Amino acid sequence: MLNLVWPWMAMILPLPLLYRLLRKPASTSAASLQSAFYARLTGAFAADARPQSRRLQLVLISLAWIALVAALTRPTWVGEPVALPASGRDLLLAVDISESMATEDMQVNRSLYPRLSVVQKVVGDFVANRRGDRLGLILFGSQAYLQAPLTFDRKTVSTLLREARIGFAGRATAIGDAIAIAIKRLADRPADSKVLILLSDGADTASEIPPVKAAELAAQEGIRIYTIGVGSGEMTSRGLFGQHVFNPAADLDEKTLTAIADLTGGRYFRARDPAQLAEIYQTLDALEPIEQEGQTLRPTRALYHWPLSIALGLTFMALIAHLFGSGTTRSAE
């Protein structure tokens, strides 16, 4: 909406009319003290101009004065309220991209999809809903590395997660190193807001620091860790010798993931299919609600330069009209 910063400046709008009504006839000596510019403006209504020219000049000067007063009121456009980023949680997502995450055992209807593809979709939706939190992304395989530092830019975090590929970080699994990176990034953050959600489908085989030891250090720093084990349960396949029952998630170390969560005050979840994984992240949304401060900002945009430009343009047009009007009258004489 339109707002006037100095609306009281509109009180000077009738000053020219009051001056014209109340002024006394100027003496010869007073008239001689007028500046050249003022004389030119007042000369716009001189008797040597034609009546039509004088009327046009009067209209232009009057409109210019109105536009100038409008500029003095400092009009501004106030936009719709915009919510400021809330100081919610500092939430890191650690996602396993080891070789086993390419296993196609996540069933949707009758089709099987790779674990990583399902994780990217579900976690991406989770990220999109965490408005107000600072989110970061850790990817780990044989090595762990910070892919996205803590940021309010949820779109960038989702993009980086979606672009992750199997093998970027090696074939093995370094759960302990991923926790160590999270500790380094969250150690100096405010208490009661430091959360790590760690997702893996295997056992730690490559960390320099054991996962349980890393969890103990995280607990000392007040970091809460939620762990998620991904992978289907027992599955059946048909072969030349009949049906074969096997477990694609046999390498999943649920004992360690549970210990990590218990040591840090978190919780362990098991996801055997995409529906369960989506439910887990919905549960995490409830366990770690977003803290909204309710602060808003109304963006403003100054508009005074528009009436000021109009006032200058109209004044220039009045001077041009005066020059042409006076010149035509003298030519006629």
pLDDT in the model for residue 101: 92
Q: Do 147 and 105 touch, CB atoms closer than 8 A?
A: no
- Write the DSSP string, 1-58: -EEES-GGGGGGTTHHHHHHHHPPPPPHHHHHTS-HHHHHHHGGG-TTS-HHHHHHHH
Q: What is the DSSP letter of 102?
A: G
Please report, for the chain, how many H helices and E strands are present, in that order: 11, 15
Mean pLDDT value of segment 259-286: 92
* pLDDT at residue 304 tops 50: yes
For 163-195, the DSSP string reads: T--TTTT-SS--HHHHHHHHHHHHTTSPTT-EE
For 214-225, write each residue's pLDDT tens digit.
999 999 999 999
Mean pLDDT within 45-58: 65
Domains of the chain: 2-19+36-79+299-332 (no CATH), 83-287 (3.40.50.410)
d(CA 42, CA 61) in angstroms, rounded, equals 10
- Smallest CA-to-CA distance from 54 within 311, 318, 249 is with 318
How far apart (Å, rounded) are the C-alpha atoms in residues 48 and 328?
A: 10
Task: Give the integer Cα–Cα distance in Å for 67 and 311.
Answer: 5
- Residue pair 79/295 in contact (Cβ under 8 Å)? The answer is no
pTM of the model as a whole: 0.62
Q: What is the pLDDT of residue 34?
A: 47
Fill in the DSSP letter of residue 86.
Answer: P
Q: What mean pLDDT is reported for the chain?
A: 82
